Structure 1
Amino acid sequence: MAQSKSNWPNGVRPRGDSIQIRYQYKGREYNETLDKRPNKTNIAYAAKVRQQRLDDLRLGRTDEEWENPCFGVLAQQYLDTAKVTRSTRDCYRHALNKYWMPKLAKLPIRSITYKDLWRLDSRLKWPSAKTRKNAIVPLRQVFRLAKKNGYAESNPAKELEQEKHQKPPIDPFTTYEKETILAQLDGQALIYFTLAFETGARTSELLALTWDDYDGKRLAINKSMVRREVKLSTKTNMAREVLLTQRAKAILRECPTRFKGGPIFTHSLGGPCLDADDFNRRWRKALSDAGVRYRRGYNCRHTYASLGLTAGAKPGFLCQQLGHTLEMFFSTYAKYIKSEDDELELAKIDCQSPGKVV
């Protein structure tokens, strides 16, 4: 809860769901709105920002530089104040530094036009349409921040057209491939990939599992390992309970950490596995030794869904197990959803077709 206004630092005050900082230098008043919720942590941060602004002015920053800051300054301000997860902020920072900062960093934000961005965009060698789409997101947010603070009259990045990109089709393993791969594994790698195949859980969700999440019948999926840190939510911010197959329960009974409590997956020194690097190395070797065409370990998730649908499991059940929305589930796995009535449904369509089959 935000503290009372009387206790706020000098020059810092709430403004709706944001925080405004105000200060004067040589008789001139400055105002800036930070896109931060007014709570104790952000109030302290705003006070530091205000002091930094004053220090910049005292060190000789000109009025022109302050009223029309360069793109690089606004990009840093956006990264400092964006209400996103750490992993998302890191992705935004990478995109800004790789694609936009080399040409835009020192340009006054107000001088950058759509034509400038269009030329730069057209000259960049984008690896894919998806990469381009992801890189434009933080670019737009930087100009949005500039417009919100009065440094720009419009957001030229909004005019950059987004190309639609087609998701590649999923490429699950067959039952034979699944069994052949698992036969090449042992130890924690066998337990890890057995659970991946038998639950469809995401990599980040598997790494974050603890024995407190297991009740003998199901796993509570309510956190994830993101950039070597446990995040108390899943990718979709929806906790779920995953019912376990007999095979999954059997492999957990063989896990050497079951009597120790704490994380299910640990490294050689006993600490929690913070990433899947070692598991991925074992995965690549297992596929090579098994003579199975390489696909990412993430495809265990697709395999769980596709084999389940082929076996007749209801889409609603699998959707809940995987933590998907129904829309996402059907768009991803529609080709595997079969019905005994498929031929009857096709016959209904045939009846509506004019003419006769010769």
Structure 2
Amino acid sequence: MASFQKYSTKQGQLWLFKMDTGINPQTGKRQTTTRRGFKTKKEAQTAAAKLEQELVNGLLINNNNFTYQDIFEEWFTNHSQTIKTSTIATIESKFKSHILPRFGKLKIKDITKAYCQRMINEIATNIASVNDIKIQANQVFKYALKMDLITKNPMEHVSIPKQPNELLSEHSEVDKRNYWTKEEIKHFLELTKNELSYRDYVLFHLLIYTGARKGELLALTWEDIDFEAGSLRLWKTLFYNKGKFIIQTPKTKESKRLISLDPKTLSLLKKWRIRQREANMAIKNTIDNGNIAFTREDGTPIRLAYPNEKLNIVIKKHNLHPITIHGLRHTHASLLFEAGASIKEVQERLGHTDVKMTMNIYTHVTNTLKEQTATKFQRYIEL
């Protein structure tokens, strides 16, 4: 309800009203607004009734001086309590690098659809993962909408521009394949066996023969390997944040899995465990690292970037087809399909949450096999 009051000015007697406009979402306290300059009490009453109706309909935004940065900080304070440390670091990085420099100082009520579209277009020219940026930026607008700080979400209908590589022909995908053939894998493993340390050779062998993520293998402890049953338990991952190594559980329940190991892989792991113990005894290493299987010489965990760096060194030195560490995981899945594994088997072994991820790999493998069909026919008929 509004209260009305007459007051004096140089122009004569005027009217004002005061009204409670609800809870300030930032302070949690009630707030009021005062409107002045009405010639009569009836004018003040009419204006008060209109304001009251706008509040009821959500058309008036309480404290419309909030900036995007203000709302981000409030949203993130709550959101960060529901997600993992690694996710917190990722989100903070995206906001610091891409979102807050473009939106932070603007009043959230003044940000338009057109501005959002321009900013997304600009970001898309610099990074490929622009959709992830849009999703995170949109979280703040959705929160503001939920808290009645804005009446419409300006980011809602913003479109993601196509990346240049998405407009290329299908033939370009062949040149950018992020996996190796069986022959390329054999050649790579032979190179790593001869040129890298035994630890690195076993690590790359395990990446290829299990399809595990690098963070999963770098968090591996000897207790996770059952040498009798021939199995490997993947249920945690290594993460580095603010100068500390953190062992945390994976994002999805599907990532927690038990996979089988072949006799050759088990043999390599046994040899590496013996060598690691002998090396620790030689330097009298007393670091308590939780019995991690792959460590640096001083017993501390291996940096997450280390496998990437070693892979790139070998590729460049021997002019191999360039792939990423994730490409080794893709390679494992591809060769499983070629060996006759089912989609379900590959999905479970790799810990894919969505079968679509597995199907994308399956599609390119089946296309490769189809291309070999004509060659098989030719070889048969010309014998």
Q: When the two structures are superposed, what TM-score results if normalisation uses the length of structure 2?
A: 0.66
Structure 2 partner of 1:139? 137
The secondary structure found in structure 2 opposite 1:304 is helix
Which SS does the other structure have where 2:226 is aligned?
coil
* Inter-partner Cα distance in structure 2 for 1:65 and 1:269: 58
**Partner letter of residue 98 of structure 1?**
S
Q: Following superposition of structure 1 onto structure 2, how do residues 1-358 of structure 1 map, counting pairs within 5 Å?
A: 30-32=23-25, 66-82=63-79, 83-124=82-123, 126-128=125-127, 130-163=128-161, 170-185=177-192, 186-216=197-227, 217-227=230-240, 228-233=245-250, 238-255=255-272, 256-257=275-276, 262-273=291-302, 275-324=303-352, 325-337=354-366
Secondary structure of the 1:242 match is: strand
Gaps of 5+ in 1: 1-26, 34-48, 55-63, 344-358
In 2, Cα distance between equivalents of 1:125 and 1:304:
31
C-alpha separation in 2, matches of 1:175 and 1:120: 44
Judged with a 3 Å threshold, the aligned counterparts in structure 2 of structure 1 residues 322 and 122 are, in CA distance, closer, same or farther, namely: closer
- Show structure 2 runs of 5+ residues with no match: 1-19, 31-60, 168-172, 281-289, 374-383
Partners of 1:283 and 1:119 lie apart in 2 by 38
- Comparing 138-147 with 161-170, greater Cα deviation is found at 161-170
8 A contact 1:223–1:234 mirrored in 2: no
Secondary structure of 2:23's counterpart equals strand
The change in CA–CA distance for 1:157 and 1:301 in structure 2 (over 3 A counts) is same
Matched residue SS, 1:212: helix
Letter in 1 for 2:135: V
Q: Is the Cα–Cα contact under 8 Å of residues 72 and 106 in structure 1 kept in the other structure?
A: yes
- Contact 1:68–1:151, Cα closer than 8 Å, also in 2: no
1:28 CA displacement:
9.0
CA apart distance, 1:76: 2.0
Equivalents in 1 of 2:112, 2:208: separation in Å?
50
Contact 1:170 1:302 (C-alpha < 8 Å) held by counterparts: no
Deviation (angstroms), 1:266: 0.7
2:255 corresponds to which letter in structure 1?
M
| Alpha-carbon spacing, 1:125–1:331, altered in 2? closer, same or farther (3 Å) | closer
Worse overlay, 196-205 or 172-181: 172-181
Contact 1:172 1:300 in 2 (8 A): yes
**2:45 paired residue number:** none
Deviation at 1:236, TM superposition (A): 6.1
SS in 1 for 2:74: helix
Q: Deviation string for 1:36-60 (max 9, x for gaps)?
A: xxxxxxxxxxxxx87xx99xxxxxx
Please report how far the alpha carbon of residue 123 of structure 1 lies from its aligned counterpart in structure 2 after TM superposition. 4.4
Shift in CA distance, 121/326, structure 1 to aligned 2, threshold 3 Å: closer
Letter in 2 for 1:197: I
The offset of 1:212, in angstroms, is 1.2
Cα displacement (A) at 1:214: 0.7
1:74 Cα deviation from its structure 2 partner? 1.1
Q: Normalising by structure 1, what TM-score?
A: 0.70
Aligned-residue identity in percent: 22
- Aligned-partner SS, 1:229: strand
Is contact 2:178–2:322 with CA below 8 Å preserved after alignment? no
Q: Distance in 2 between matches of 1:292 and 1:270?
A: 32
Q: Distance in 2 between matches of 1:257 and 1:65?
A: 63
The secondary structure found in structure 2 opposite 1:225 is: strand
TM-superposed deviation, 1:125: 5.4
Deviations 1:130-166 (A, max 9, x none): 4221111111111111112221111111121235665
CA contact (8 A) 1:173 1:300 kept: yes
Tell me if the contact between 2:117 and 2:159 (Cα under 8 Å) persists in the aligned partners.
Answer: no
The 3 A distance-change label for structure 1 pair 300 and 119 is closer
Amino acid in structure 2 at the alignment position of 1:189: D
Contact 1:221 1:234 in 2 (8 A): no
Check whether the contact 2:254–2:351 (CA below 8 A) recurs between aligned residues: no
CA apart distance, 1:243: 0.5
Q: Distance in 2 between matches of 1:86 and 1:337?
A: 39
Question: Larger radius of gyration, structure 1 or 2?
Answer: 2
Aligned partners of 2:333, 2:265: CA distance in 1, in Å?
15
Q: Does the 8 Å contact 2:220/2:293 carry over to 1? A: yes
